[in-house]
Amino acid sequence: GGAPKCRAGDKPEWGADAIFTIENKKLKFKSYYKLPSYQSANENCVAHNGSLIPIPGRDVMVQAWYQGGISVFDWTDPSNPKEIASFDRGPVDSTRMVSGGSWSVYWYNGAIVSSEIARGMDVAELTPSEFISQNEIDAAKTVKWDYLNAQGQPKIVWPPSFALAKAFTDQLERKGCVSGARIGDIRSQISAAEKASGAARNAALTKLSAQVENERSCDPKKVDMLKKALQDLQSSVM
């Protein structure tokens, strides 16, 4: 953590995250994730402490990179991880090597908290972009912890919410294999159910749960996630 390893020309595996899958109870290497923005020779930069961000249906992590700042990356496809958000203060001193930067960063109940060695603490929040929707952010914020030790790897559980159903709908849209008209219809039905209550709400959710089966050819796993989110809303008291 005391050396610059994110310069142009540095090897992609230097200071990077190694991503593996588990196959037949054995680790299988898939790729490295390295901060995509080059840093100067006066900035110590390697991957350091981070944590998962509970965006449903995706594998997303926020990672500290010392003076490389913080990087939020999606590794749902372990062979092709990609950055979806970032924050960088720049070098502590652009003229000479001075130790500093984000030593650790953790997502906690909607906030991204970064411990900056030389310049205090940064508290950030995700904002929607082409890579992440407001519904996905809202669904992540429904996960609440009384405390967090990231090394304890707590199980992530999403309570029933309309944000969760909307997030899975956004992900189906992003995949590009469901027509815009159909996505619009699903969103309209979710919105109508959210405004209803009691038996009317349950009837609307039951109808939509059956209809989304028609999109199974696009992404069966995502459709199952959307269906479960809709069904959980039926049995919850909201």
Instruction: Output the pLDDT for position 153.
Output: 86
Give the pLDDT of residue 151.
87
The pLDDT tens digits of the residues spanning 158-204 come to 999 999 999 999 999 999 999 999 999 999 999 999 999 999 999 99
Q: Which pLDDT score is estimated for 116?
A: 94
In the predicted structure, residue 205 carries a pLDDT above the cut 80: yes
Query: Residue 209 corresponds to which tokens in the numbers above?
Result: 């749960």
Mean pLDDT across the stretch 15-23?
Answer: 96
Task: Output the pLDDT for position 131.
Answer: 97
pLDDT recorded at residue 191: 97
Contact of 3 with 44, CB cutoff 8 Å = yes
For every residue of 86-155, which 3-state class applies, written as one string?
A: EECCCCCCCCCCCCCCEEEEEEECCEEEEEECCCEEEEECCCCCCCCCHHHHHHHCCCCCCCCCHHHCCC
Residue tagged 């159903």 (tokens): 165
Task: For residue 237, name the pLDDT band (cuts at 50, 70, 90).
Answer: low
Asked whether 45 and 67 are in contact (CB, 8 A), the reply is yes
* Cα–chain center distance at 204: 29
pLDDT for res 236: 74
pLDDT digits (tens, 9 = 90+) for 25-74: 999 999 999 999 999 999 999 999 999 999 999 999 999 999 999 999 99
Tell me the pLDDT of the chain averaged across its residues.
95
Statement: residue 157 has pLDDT above 90: yes
What is the structure's pLDDT at 238? Answer: 53
- Once rounded to an integer, what is the mean pLDDT over residues 133-138? 98
* pLDDT score, position 102: 96
Q: What is the mean pLDDT of residues 96-101?
A: 92
